[in-house]
Amino acid sequence: MSNPKNYTVGWICAIQTEYTAARQFLDENHEHPEHVSPNDNNEYTLGRIGSHNVVVAVLPDGEYGTSSAASVARDMLHTFPNIRIGLMVGIGGGAPTAKRDIRLGDIVVSSPSNGKGGVYQYDYGKTIRSQEFQPTGMLNQPPSLLRGAVNGLKAHYEENGNGLSEAVEAALKKKPRLRKKYQRPNLQDDRLYKTEFVHASGSEESCADVCGNDDSSLVRRHERTEDEDNTAIHYGLIASANSLMKDAVTRDKLAGKQGVLCFEMEAAGLMNHFPCLVIRGICDYSDSHKNKVWQGYAAMTAAAYAKDILRRIRPNRIEAEQKISEILSNFGQTLEKVQATAKSTDTAVKDMGLERRRDQLYDWLCPPDPSTNYNKALEQRYEGSGKWFVQGEAYREWKTQPNSFLWLYGIPGCGKTILSSTIIEDLSKALTESQPMLYFYYSFTDTRKQSTENTVRSLICQLYQKRKDVQRVVDLLFSSHENGRKQPGLESLYSTFQNMIQQANEVWIILDALDECQTREDTQAEGLLSWLRSLVASKVANVHLLVTSRPEQDIESALETWTQPENRVPIQSDLIMDDIRAYIHARVRTYEGLSRWQSSPDVQNEVETALIENADGMFRWVTCQLESLEKCLEYPTLQRALGSLPKTLDETYARILSSIPSEYEHHTRRILQFLTFSERPLRIEEAVDAIAVNIEGGKGFDPKNRMPRPREISRYCSTLVVVVARQSPEDGDAITELQLAHFSVKEYLTSKRLDQSVAKDLEETTARASIAKQDIGWSMLRLPKDIA
C-alpha cells in the first residue's frame, strides 16, 4: 500500500473519460493509498511521472460544476497532505475566432490574459437592466512554478514541435482496446458551423446527418501545413461556469469582448482554493452542435501535455513549494463560501438568462407600458379615496368568487381611473406572488393604448414576468414565428394568453376606460368586447375580470347580453360624495393656491359648500373650479366666482378658453392642435419647439424663440393640460410630457359644441395642416443655409 504523504502533485479530472486518459500517461503505477480521510469518497489512481509522485482523482459520476470540483480538491488535500501543486486536466469547448484558429483536438492552457488570472468565472457577477452581465471578483492565476514550466515548454515546442499526437499514438499502442474511443477522429468530423446555424432542437441524429456539410452553414478553414502542429496549443483565458455553454452567440460575445478561448465547468471552483494549472483538450465548439466523437482524443492530448509539463519541473522545485493544505488551512470555511457562491451564482445566471429572454420578448411584442397611467393616477389620488368600493360587498365577492366579472361605469370625470388605481393597489397588497394581477389602461393620449391587440400583448408580457411556469407558452409563440423575425396575429395572441391563464389557473385582470379603446366593436371577432366575452365564457381558468368605462351605448348593450345586473355597478354621485367632500376639504385647506384664505375659516367653509353642492359626482369639475378660484385675489372676486360657477364640464371648458389672455391665444391654440391630434404623448421639449416655430413670418424655427423654462408651457392653458413625468422604457431616462388633462377635454375640443371662434382652428383638417407647416418650419433648422 502507498503512503499518502509521499505524493506532491494533485491531478483532478471531471469525468471518467478524462480519468482514463490520465492513467495512460503515468510512467509507473502505484498501489492504492494505505488509508484515506474519513468521508473522502474520491476515486484515486497513484503513480509516477518523471520524478514526481502523482495522485489522480475524478469527480463522482454525474457530478459537475465548480462546487463539485472544490469538494474533490478538499478531500484530496485531507488524504494527501503534502500536495504542493495541482493540475486540472480534461476536455472543454473551444471558442474559435478570426484571430484564434482553435480546432478540435487542440489544447488550451490557462494563462493570465486581459487582466484576468487565466480562468474567468462568467456566471459570477451582477446584472444591470438593459446592460450586459458584469462579472465581479477575481480568480487567482496559476502558481509561478507552473507558469514558468508553461513558458519553458512553449519554447521547446516552438523549436521541436510538440509531438503530442505521437505521444497519444504511443499510449494507444500499449492499450489497443482504447483505440476506438481515444484515437484521433477523421478530420471530416471537425465541423465549425456558422454562429447563426443552430442544430435542430430535440433531434437525436448526428450533425453529419442533420446539419450536413453545406458551405452555406460551415466556416471553411485551411488545412494545416506540415510546419504547423496539428495539435495546436493555445494560451489564454478559460471561461468557467456551472452550466454547459451551448450558445454560439454568447460564445462569440465572450470570445470577442473577454478574449475567452475555451469553456468548461469546474476550474473556477479551484483557482482560489487549489493552486493549479488548467489544461483543456478541445472536443467541441461550445455551440448547439454538441457531440462526443472528439472527447476521447481531446482528453488524451490534454493528458499528454500535462505529462510534458511535469517532466519539465525538477523535484526539488516542488519540494520547495509550500503545501497547499498549509496555504488553505481554513479551506473548510472557504469551501462553504465557494459552494454558497456557486449556488447563488447558479440562481444569478438563471435570473440573468430570464431577464435577457424577457427583454428579447418585450422588444418583439413591444407592449405599451400601463404603469405610467397607474403612477399618474396614484399621484392625483388623495389618501382614503375609493374606500367605499374596496371595502364593499361587491368588490369582496369579485375578489374571491370563481370566474367573477364586474363592470364599473360612470359619467365623465367621476374618478373611474383613480378608482382603478386604488383597486390595483389593493390587489397588489392582498395577492401573493403566485396570484398574478394584470392591468391595462386605455388612453386617449396614446394611440398605442387604444387597441385590443396591444392590450393582449401587454397582458402576455406581464404574466410572463410574474409566473415562470407559463413562460414556455410564450417561448413557443416566439420560436413558431421564426424566433421573432415575424409578428404574431391577433388570433395567435388570443390563443397564447388563453393557454397562459389556463396554466396559471387563476388571474385577476383590471382594464380601465374601455370607452377609450378604438377597437371595441362587439360585432367583430377582433373587437375588445367580443374578446372579453370569450375570456369570461371560456372558464378555462379562474379569471377575475374588472373593467371600467363610461356608460356608452355599445358597451352597455354588449355587456347586457352576457352579464347579470349585479355584475354592472354604477358609480353614482351619492356613492362617491364622501370622496369628493374629503377631496374638496383637503384641497381648500392645504392647496397652496388657496392658502390666502387660511386665516379665514368662514371663507374656506363657503368655498367648500359651493363646490360640494355643485359637484354632481364629478371630480374633474371640482378640479377645474379649484384652479379657477385660485385666481381670485380678494373676497368680492371670489364671492362672484362662487355665485356663477358653471354647471357642466362643457360650460367649464368654454369659460377657460374664453378667459385666455389675448397674448396667449396664438400659442394656446397651437398647443391644443398638437395635443388633440397627435398620435402619441408630446414631450415637453417638442411642445416648446412647436410654439417656437414662426410659420407666418416665414423664418421657420429659431432656437432663440424657445421658452427658457419649458415646464411653464402649461401656464398657457393650465386647466386643460397637464405635465406628466415618467421613465423611458428603453433607457430608463426621465421623460416629461405635455398632455390634455382629461378625455373630456379632447371630446369637447373635437365636438360641435365648441365656440366658432375656437372651432375653426381645431377642425381636424386645419389643425393637421398647421402641424405639418410647423414640422416643416422646424426641419428648416437642419438644412444647410444655402438650401434653406
pLDDT tens figures, 624-653: 999 889 889 999 999 999 999 999 988 988
Proportion of the chain above pLDDT 70, given as a percent: 86
pLDDT tens per residue, range 515-527: 999 888 755 556 8
Strand order in the sheet with 734-740: 682-683, 734-740, 721-727
Q: Rounded to 5 degrees, what angle do the CA atoms 7, 3, 85 make? A: 10
Query: What is the helix (H) or strand (E) element at residue 727, kind and residue range?
Result: strand 721-727
Q: Which of 163, 159, 160, 183 is closest to 172 using CA atoms? A: 183
105-141 pLDDT, tens per residue? 999 999 887 767 788 887 644 333 334 444 434 456 7
pLDDT mean over 267-276: 72
Judged against a pLDDT cut of 60, whether residue 332 lies above it is answered with: no
Q: In this structure, are residues 343 and 123 in contact, taking their beta carbons and an 8 Å threshold? A: no
How high is the pLDDT of residue 337? 60
- In this prediction, residue 209 carries a pLDDT of 64
Q: Which residue intervals of 164-294 are DSSP H helices?
A: 164-174, 179-182, 207-210, 248-258
* Res 173: pLDDT: 96
| Mean pLDDT to the nearest integer, 592-618 | 90
Q: Where are the beta strands (DSSP E) in 199-252?
A: 233-240
pLDDT band at 702 (very low <50, low <70, confident <90, very high): low
Determine the pLDDT at residue 7: 95
User: Taking the domain 656-782, which CATH number applies?
Assistant: 1.10.10
Other CB atoms within 10 Å distance of the CB of residue 328: 19
Q: What is the mean predicted confidence (pLDDT) over 252-263?
A: 90
- pLDDT at residue 776, as a whole number: 59
Let me know: does 30 contact 53? Beta carbons within 8 Å: yes
- Reference 74, options 65, 64, 83; nearest CA is 83
Task: Identify the top-confidence range among 165-174, 470-479, 743-752.
Answer: 165-174
> Which stretch, 190-194, 370-374, 702-706, 741-745, has highest mean pLDDT?
370-374
The pLDDT assigned to 128 comes to: 31
Q: 761 versus 25: which is more confidently predicted?
A: 25
Find out whether 259 and 105 touch, Cβ atoms under 8 Å: no
463 or 446, which is more confident: 463
pTM of the prediction?
0.54
pLDDT at 406: 96
Domain ranges in the chain with CATH number 3.40.50.1580: 4-345
The predicted pLDDT at position 140 comes to 65
Q: How far apart are CA 690 and CA 707, in angstroms?
A: 11
Phi, psi (degrees; rounded to nearest 5) at 313: -100, 125
Q: Is the pLDDT of residue 671 over 90?
A: no
> Which residues does residue 239 pair with via DSSP β-bridges, in sequence order?
120, 263
Rounded to the nearest integer, the mean pLDDT of the chain is: 84
Q: Which CATH class is domain 366-371+401-416+431-568?
A: alpha beta
E strand or H helix at 693, and its extent?
strand 693-694
Instruction: Tell me: pLDDT of 539 over 50.
Output: yes
Checking if the pLDDT of 53 tops 90, the result is: yes
What 3-state DSSP class applies to 1?
Answer: coil
**Mean predicted confidence (pLDDT) in 236-253:** 85
Fold entry, domain 4-345 = Rossmann fold (3.40.50)
Amino acid at 369: D
pLDDT for 538 equals: 79
The predicted-structure confidence for 336-356, as pLDDT tens digits, reads as follows: 565 565 565 555 555 555 677
Closest CA to 385 of 554, 582, 155: 582
**Highest-confidence range of 220-234, 395-409, 682-696, by mean pLDDT?**
395-409
CA distance 140 to 668: 67
Residue intervals in the chain for CATH 1.10.10: 656-782
Beta carbons within 8 Å of 540's beta carbon, 6+ residues apart: 498, 501, 502
The whole-number pLDDT of residue 267 equals 75
